[in-house]
């Protein structure tokens, strides 16, 4: 179902492209973490994102910008784990990749500065974890976490800015997830009520009828 929804969205973007002010190709750095309680430590995952977008002007100062991005997320968390009453101190590294669809409002301030705000939805594309535990459960566990154990749909809010230099655009955003990623007792035991959180630094090439 997620693939059908994503395909329909991409086709919609193609249908709108004839009226778009400009297209964009973008990519950059992801610094991701998990918003989760009751952990002893967290270490961010350094990853990447890439994709494309359309800028659809609604006025001189405002435009609507849908995007399609492949984006890496996840983190490493340390805590005391309890499996069937047996405790162990360990760390769990979760790598989760999504196809994200930001739906942004773009506010232009002057000729170069833009503010980007809006929601995003994300479709789970790939996932894996590495769990290391010391104590009665001493050992290292590796496995694939499939869509039956993690939510197939992520969503949240985006805020950021961009600077335009002719065809080149650079910027930064913060993405705050609102969806708990767990969807099984196993994922709950390892990651609790974790939600995605990630910071992006990007560069984009604008193609078409941009103003500056």
List the pLDDT tens digit at each of the 212 positions of the chain.
555 555 655 555 555 555 558 999 999 999 998 887 665 556 788 999 999 999 999 988 999 999 999 999 988 776 555 554 545 566 777 888 999 999 999 999 988 999 999 999 999 998 887 766 655 555 545 554 556 788 889 999 999 999 999 999 999 999 999 999 888 777 776 777 889 999 999 999 999 888 76
CA 68-176-59 angle, 5° bins = 55
The structure tokens listed for 67 are 């995007």
Alpha-carbon distance 169 to 189, whole Å? 42
Q: What is the pLDDT of residue 163?
A: 97
Q: What is the pLDDT of residue 108?
A: 94
DSSP 59: S
For residue 133, give the nearest of 96, 94, 87, 95 by alpha carbon.
87
Q: How does strand 153-165 pair with strand 139-143? A: unpaired
Partners of 207 in the beta sheet? 23
Q: What is the pLDDT of residue 38?
A: 62
Helix (H) or strand (E) holding 16: helix 2-16
- How many separate helices (H) and strands (E) can be counted in the chain? 2, 9
Alpha-carbon distance 145 to 127, whole Å? 6
Alpha-carbon distance 116 to 74, whole Å? 23
Q: What is the pLDDT of residue 74?
A: 86
């Amino acid at each position: 179902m997620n693939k059908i929804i994503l395909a329909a969205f991409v086709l919609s973007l193609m249908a709108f492209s004839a009226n778009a002010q400009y297209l964009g190709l973008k990519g950059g750095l992801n610094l991701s973490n998990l918003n989760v309680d009751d952990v002893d430590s967290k270490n961010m995952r350094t990853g990447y994102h890439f994709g494309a977008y359309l800028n659809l002007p609604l006025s001189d100062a405002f435009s609507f910008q849908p995007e399609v991005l492949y984006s890496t997320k996840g983190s490493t968390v340390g805590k005391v784990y309890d499996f069937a009453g047996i405790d162990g101190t360990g760390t769990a590294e979760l790598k989760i990749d999504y196809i994200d669809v930001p739906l942004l409002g773009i506010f232009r301030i002057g000729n170069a500065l833009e503010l980007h705000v809006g929601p995003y939805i994300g479709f789970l594309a790939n996932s894996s974890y590495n769990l290391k535990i010391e104590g009665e459960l001493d050992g290292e566990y590796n496995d694939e976490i499939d869509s039956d154990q993690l939510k197939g749909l992520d969503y949240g809010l985006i805020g950021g800015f961009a600077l335009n230099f002719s065809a080149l655009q650079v910027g930064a955003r913060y993405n705050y997830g609102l969806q708990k990623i767990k969807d099984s007792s196993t994922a709950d035991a390892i990651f609790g009520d974790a939600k995605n959180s990630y910071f992006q630094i990007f560069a984009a090439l604008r193609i078409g009828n941009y103003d500056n």
